[in-house]
């Protein structure tokens, strides 16, 4: 691009120079655009980075929450399992207790089948099946029963071998058919020690600490008292004596 200077056309000369003003303007505009674009890109990158960090934090929090929920679920399941196990254990124990009670009731009922002749009184007879207590029975032959099981017999040879048992008691009569032979006092005392050990070893007697005593009316009164003292030594603090109701009283009660 040429330019002329002066008023005289003959003296005009041409200057060959570039006008950089437009170029500078363009460069400034481009620089401004670049700076603005760079700022926008930086802001976008920062926003994307913050978004990614936020999503990562949310994922970690969600994972932690899921882990807590799983742990809580497992704890609840374990707790429910333990409760179910305890419930089944209690049901099983209750079933066992019911069976034991049924067996004990059956034993109590069968204890009345032991053949003995009870003394007859005017009081009301005891219903042993309803009382559900163990019955200790002493027969005419001096056999001891707990329930319906004979546990000790004073006629055993082991008791006859104790010192003093071979000597017949004073006033002993000769053997009579159908009547058991007399048992010496020494043998009876040894027999009482054996029945005491049996009663101490009986779990139900140890728990209840009470029972019923059925003694044949033909047994000597002193020997019944000795048996009652033995029962007390065995730790049984309460026991009742069982008798039969007088026939006349029973008929009057039924009328």
**254 three-state secondary structure:** helix
Is residue 155, in this structure, part of any structural domain at all? yes
Shared domain for 102 and 125, answered yes or no, is: no
Shared domain for 158 and 206, answered yes or no, is: yes
Shared domain for 215 and 247, answered yes or no, is: yes
What distance in Å separates the CA atoms of residue 203 and residue 183, rounded to the nearest whole number? 30
pLDDT digits (tens, 9 = 90+) for 106-135: 655 555 566 666 666 554 555 555 557 788
Tokens of 135: 């019955």
pLDDT digits (tens, 9 = 90+) for 203-229: 888 888 888 888 898 889 899 999 999
Is residue 219, in this structure, part of any structural domain at all? yes
- Segment 34-57 shows an average pLDDT of 81
Kindly provide the b/e burial profile for residues 85-103, where b requires at least 16 CB atoms within 10 angstroms of the residue's own CB. Answer: eeeeeeeeeeeeeeeeeee
What distance in Å separates the CA atoms of residue 63 and residue 65, rounded to the nearest whole number? 5
| HSE-CB for 254 with a 13 A CA cutoff | 7
Higher pLDDT, 236 or 103: 236
| HSE-CB for 83 with a 13 A CA cutoff | 6
Tokens of 6: 């002066």
Shared domain for 61 and 173, answered yes or no, is: no
Shared domain for 246 and 132, answered yes or no, is: yes
Cβ distance 1 to 14 under 8 Å?
A: no
Shared domain for 93 and 142, answered yes or no, is: no
Domain, as residue range, for 13? 8-111
Considering only CA atoms, which of 226, 223, 222, 227 is closest in space to residue 211? 227
Tokens of 129: 């099946």
| HSE-CB for 101 with a 13 A CA cutoff | 9
Q: Which of 111, 133, 148 is the last residue of a domain?
A: 111
Q: Which of 111, 129, 158 is the last residue of a domain?
A: 111
Shared domain for 64 and 129, answered yes or no, is: no
- Segment 19-28 shows an average pLDDT of 78
- If one counts every other C-beta atom within 10 angstroms of the C-beta of residue 230, the result is 20
Highest mean pLDDT among 24-33, 96-105, 142-151: 142-151
Is residue 89, in this structure, part of any structural domain at all? yes
Q: What is the mean pLDDT of the chain?
A: 77
Task: Check pLDDT > 90 for residue 196.
Answer: yes
């Amino acid at each position: 691009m040429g330019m002329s200077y002066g008023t005289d056309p003959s003296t005009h000369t041409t200057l060959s120079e570039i006008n950089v003003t437009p170029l500078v303007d363009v460069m400034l505009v481009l620089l401004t655009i670049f700076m603005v674009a760079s700022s926008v890109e930086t802001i976008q990158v920062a926003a994307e980075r913050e978004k990614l960090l936020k999503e990562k934090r949310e994922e970690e929090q969600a994972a932690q929450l899921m882990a807590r929920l799983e742990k809580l679920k497992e704890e609840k399941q374990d707790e429910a399992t333990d409760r179910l196990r305890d419930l089944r254990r209690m049901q099983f124990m209750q079933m066992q207790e019911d069976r034991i009670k049924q067996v004990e009731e059956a034993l109590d009922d069968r204890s009345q089948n032991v053949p003995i002749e009870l003394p007859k009184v005017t009081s009301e007879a005891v219903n042993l099946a309803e009382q559900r207590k163990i019955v200790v029975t002493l027969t005419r032959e001096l056999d001891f029963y707990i329930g319906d099981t004979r546990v000790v017999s004073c006629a055993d040879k082991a008791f006859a071998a104790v010192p003093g048992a071979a000597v017949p008691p004073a006033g002993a009569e000769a053997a009579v058919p159908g009547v058991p032979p007399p048992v010496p006092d020494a043998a009876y005392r040894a027999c009482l020690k054996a029945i005491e050990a049996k009663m101490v070893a009986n779990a139900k007697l140890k728990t209840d600490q009470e029972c019923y005593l059925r003694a044949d009316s033909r047994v000597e009164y002193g020997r019944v008292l000795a048996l009652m003292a033995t029962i007390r030594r065995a730790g049984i603090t309460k026991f009742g004596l069982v008798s039969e109701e007088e026939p006349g009283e029973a008929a009057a009660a039924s009328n």
